Amino acid sequence: MTMQYTSAQFRHSPIAVTDSGVGGFSVLRELQQLMPHEDFVYLADQWHVPYGPRTMQQIQYFEDGITRFFLNGCEQLPPAKLIVIACNTASAAALHHVRATFPQIKFVGTEPAIKPAAERTRSNHIGVIATAATFQGELYASLIDRFAQGLHVHKRACPEFVTLVERGGPYDEADQQQVTEILAPLKAAGIDELVLGCTHFPFLMPLIQTAMGAGVEIIDPSPAIAKQTARVLKEAEADTDRNMPGQTLYLTSGDEVHFRNQLEALLGLKNPDVRVVKWTENDESLAMT
């Protein structure tokens, strides 16, 4: 299926947003605020969460299946006009791959906000927290090479934070203690900028800020991702021309009840439109149930 982005017929198609779990909610809420008239479909691939420990080949395979699902659409879901990979790990492992494999649709990826951190630091010490897979990707290495030359970059893999967000709040003193202990080496290093290199992490912002103290600025890349998405749509003449509020469909490949609870806890939604999608036995394709 080939989409022509200069054609007005795709203006009313949804923007697809995907993540391994609910971390991409941090990007989705920025997208919804910036483009309130657009329709969205959000897919949490919770059958495979977390992506962090998986191989690059596995993640590419998952993103292939998710992209085909969004391209093909179904009776309940029109084909998407753009795909936002709201996951640092998936972007690091598969963004270049899916852009090459599916040139008929545009992708917006997620990357650690190294550039603003490098521009704002006063101590020349910045911190980055992400998953191990994000740190191992070429995208992260290129960002450091382009924007952080001459700076001390202190990185820390925090897979426990993904688990905390997927579990859901409310968070207690034990959770705060865990976050504080994990971030202690970065605090000891004297950083003054901390880059959230995983879209799950903004939901732990109060815990992270408490752990780091008031002297550390925490950078959430979600607003920048939303602005880039709006730019791509406008340049392609694919932004909607409707004035009515957009709708959002929420999909999970995991447990529907748990997903609904996460939507209420993280986004405050009471009765969202939620559907379940299932992977085939070989994880090759998705279908809505």
Q: Identify the pLDDT of residue 165.
A: 92
Does the structure show a pLDDT above 70 at 4?
Answer: no
Structural domains present in the chain:
8-109+223-288 (3.40.50.1860), 114-220 (3.40.50.1860)
pLDDT score at 8 = 53
Is it the case that residue 137 has pLDDT exceeding 90? no
Question: In the predicted model, what is the mean pLDDT of the chain?
Answer: 92
CA separation, residue 231 to residues 40, 41, 83, 84, 274 (Å): 16, 19, 14, 13, 28
Give residue 1's pLDDT: 45
Is 101's pLDDT higher than 50? yes
- pLDDT at residue 237 in the model: 87
Whether residue 158 lies in the annotated active site: no
Average pLDDT over residues 238-263: 94
Q: Above 90 in pLDDT, residue 151?
A: yes
- Interhelix angle 205-212/173-188, nearest 10 degrees: 50
Dihedral over alpha carbons 195, 200, 201, 206 (to 10 degrees): 150
The pLDDT of residue 95 is: 94
Amino acid 148 reads: A
Mean pLDDT of 220-247: 93
pLDDT band at 6 (very low <50, low <70, confident <90, very high): very low
Catalytic status, residue 198? yes
State yes or no: pLDDT of 19 exceeds 90.
yes
Nearest to 139 by CA among 59, 223, 216: 59
Q: Residue-wise over 158-192: b if at least 16 C-beta within 10 A, else e? A: bbebbebbbeeeebeeebbebbeebbeebbeeebb
Residue recorded with tokens 């705060």: 176
pLDDT recorded at residue 3: 53
Residue type, 190: G
pLDDT in tens, 177-218: 999 999 999 999 999 999 999 999 999 999 999 999 999 999
pLDDT at 9: 62
The upper half-sphere exposure of residue 278, i.e. CA atoms within 13 Å in the direction of its Cβ, equals: 3
Tell me the percentage of the chain whose pLDDT exceeds 70: 97
Please pick, among 95, 195, 198, 225, the residue that the annotation labels catalytic. Answer: 198
pLDDT of residue 243 exceeding 70, the answer is yes
Q: What is the pLDDT of residues 27-39, one digit of tens each?
A: 999 999 999 999 9
The 10s digit of each residue's pLDDT in 39-96 is 999 999 999 998 988 889 999 999 999 999 999 988 889 999 999 999 999 999 999 9
Position 230 pLDDT exceeds 90: yes
Query: Which residue among the candidates 87, 92, 148, 186 is catalytic per the annotation?
Result: 87
Q: How far apart are CA 207 and CA 210, in angstroms?
A: 5
